[in-house]
Amino acid sequence: MRVTTNGISIYYEIRCKRKGSPPLIMLHGNCEDHTIFDRAVDYLEQAFTVYLPDSRGHGQSSPPLDGQYHYADMADDLAEFIRKLKIEKPVVCGFSDGGIVALLFAIDNPDVPSRLFVCGANTAPSALHGLSISIMKLRGAKDPRERMMLEEPHITAENLSKIRCPVTVVAGSRDCIDPKDTRLIADSVPDGKLCIMKRCDHSSYIVHSTKIVDPIFSDCGVDLDGIRVIVPYAR
């Protein structure tokens, strides 16, 4: 399916096993697409109506005409996506770049989301560490999507204080995001909670993994009665 947001043709899929179940929007990371959530969605669709958009210039969505990428534009795309599809009070779960987009969206639209799951997000490029990031900085980012990651975002504690919904901040115990920055996010939102995924790196708990399902079900108060499959948390 497709919807046009701010001149961008956004491709998305919807997965749902229960008619009328609450909406959950999953936002992928840089140079990825919605398919990274394939294993988690097999479980999430039993309790939610799961919306899986590809960000602008990713997957099957069209790129910006000027070839430039900014997190703020992606956050505007999300707001328009929700408005056009008439999604009410969605839970938003964003990974990496998707987590940044979720934060910016909630800052500018505090009354729209019911809850956020912000996974592996950072408030500034300086919070990124690790060998792959160091190599990217040394050689320079030729892909404009990667260049965005090295130049943005610039989110302050004051910005984060504007978020009104509960926020679960998730990171791997071996994440490439500075733990101090992860803690800053959790401490700066009025209703924040920190969730560290043990023995996980930046992506291993969410990309083609089911491990993110347990925090989502738990923090959203999902009644597992009637859910056909028990979530394999340790997988």
pLDDT in tens, 49-71: 999 999 999 999 999 999 999 99
Residue 229 exposed, middle or buried by CB count within 10 Å (0-12, 13-18, 19+): exposed
Q: What is the mean predicted confidence (pLDDT) over 125-148?
A: 83
pLDDT digits (tens, 9 = 90+) for 202-222: 999 999 999 999 999 999 999
Residue 139's pLDDT band, with cuts at 50, 70 and 90, is confident
CB neighbour list of residue 198: distance below 8 Å, 6 or more residues apart = 173
Best CA proximity match to 101, nearest among 134, 56, 48: 56
Question: Do 79 and 106 meet the contact criterion of CB atoms below 8 Å apart?
Answer: no
Q: Is this prediction's pTM over 0.85? A: yes
For residue 27, pLDDT beyond 60: yes
The distance of Cα 209 from the centroid of its chain, to the nearest Å, equals 15
Residue 226's pLDDT band, with cuts at 50, 70 and 90, is low
Q: Please, what are the domains in the chain? A: 2-219 (3.40.50.1820)
Q: What is the DSSP letter of 229?
A: S
